[in-house]
């Protein structure tokens, strides 16, 4: 919805958008939401509507977490902040049932806690040189290799393709042949304009949510909710804040949601 609001309604968003476009939309959404957050909070107050809290959780927790964990915390060597973010990202993957992603953070946390308990010297090395422990280059090369090979390839063919990719990456003349020289930079004025567009879109969307307070239905299925503000789509409870994964769903008459969230996190971690 945000994409079409920003870049014309007739533009089609690719099934696998380019990382640059994804990053642009995420950042615009984050900063656009900051412009209106006080207005939204003052209007909704302590209302515990599922649509409202799902959006707040997305904009205040999940979105900044995914934007900051690598570019700011990891690359800037802020180990304590990075460690807390790894815990949060693991909880997010666990909540979303992303079984292909929830194991790596858990292994990292296990190593760090073990090194801390045993006062292992590698912990100080990790804290002081965090950006060095970066598997991006391996993952990036693996992605390229996987993209350019098929399941039917033999071991020798895969090895040969890997060597070819490595040579091509280090051959500037070869790379320059395929480099897109189009200027993809966006001016500051344009970015400010897009950010304001996102703010207006979110303001309008929260207004729709406000008029649909209490209209979300469970449809006799504990794991699915029908959300009127999202064109009556059925949404899995795993996309909601953790409180909806407990037996005591938040109630507007009781201010217990925060305690439920903390209890749920404690149950997951310990």
Give the per-residue pLDDT at 13: 74
Average pLDDT, the chain: 82
∠ CA 65-241-194 to the nearest 5 degrees?
50
Tell me the C-alpha to C-alpha distance, in Å, between residue 160 and each of 155, 157, 164: 9, 5, 6
Give the per-residue pLDDT at 144: 83
pLDDT band at 83 (very low <50, low <70, confident <90, very high): very high
Give the per-residue pLDDT at 175: 59
Mean pLDDT of 181-188: 74
* pTM score of the predicted model: 0.73
Give the per-residue pLDDT at 78: 92
Mean pLDDT of 231-257: 76
Give first-to-last CA distance, the chain, whole Å: 39
Residue 256 has pLDDT above 80, yes or no: no
Give the model confidence (pLDDT) of 13-24 as tens digits.
Answer: 777 777 788 888
Residue 58 has pLDDT above 80, yes or no: yes
Going by C-alpha positions, the residue among 32, 37, 92 that lies closest to residue 62 is 92
∠ CA 190-196-198 to the nearest 5 degrees?
105
Question: In sequence order, what are the beta bridge partners of 226?
Answer: 217, 234
């Amino acid at each position: 919805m945000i994409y079409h609001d920003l870049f014309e309604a007739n533009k089609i968003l690719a099934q696998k958008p380019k990382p640059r476009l994804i990053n642009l939309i995420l950042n615009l959404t984050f900063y656009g939401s900051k412009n209106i957050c006080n207005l939204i909070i003052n209007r909704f107050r302590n209302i515990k509507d599922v649509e409202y809290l799902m959006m707040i959780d997305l904009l205040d927790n999940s979105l900044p977490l995914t934007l900051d964990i690598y570019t700011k915390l990891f690359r800037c060597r802020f180990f304590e902040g990075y460690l807390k973010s790894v815990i949060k990202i693991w909880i997010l993957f666990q909540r979303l049932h992303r079984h292909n992603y929830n194991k790596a953070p858990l292994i990292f946390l296990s190593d760090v806690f073990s090194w801390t308990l045993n006062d292992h010297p590698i912990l100080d090395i990790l804290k002081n040189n965090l950006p060095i422990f970066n598997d991006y280059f391996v993952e990036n090369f693996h992605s390229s290799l996987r993209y350019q090979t098929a399941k039917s390839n033999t071991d020798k063919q895969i090895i040969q393709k890997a060597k070819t990719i490595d040579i091509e990456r280090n051959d500037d003349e070869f790379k320059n042949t395929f480099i897109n020289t189009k200027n993809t930079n966006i001016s500051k004025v344009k970015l400010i304009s897009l950010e304001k567009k996102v703010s207006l879109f979110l303001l309008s969307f929260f207004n729709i949510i406000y008029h649909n307070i209490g209209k979300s239905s469970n449809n006799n299925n504990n794991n699915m909710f029908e959300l009127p503000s999202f064109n009556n789509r059925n949404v899995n409870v795993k996309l909601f804040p953790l409180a909806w994964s407990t037996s005591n769903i938040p109630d507007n008459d009781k201010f217990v949601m925060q305690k439920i969230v903390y209890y749920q996190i404690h149950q997951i971690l310990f």
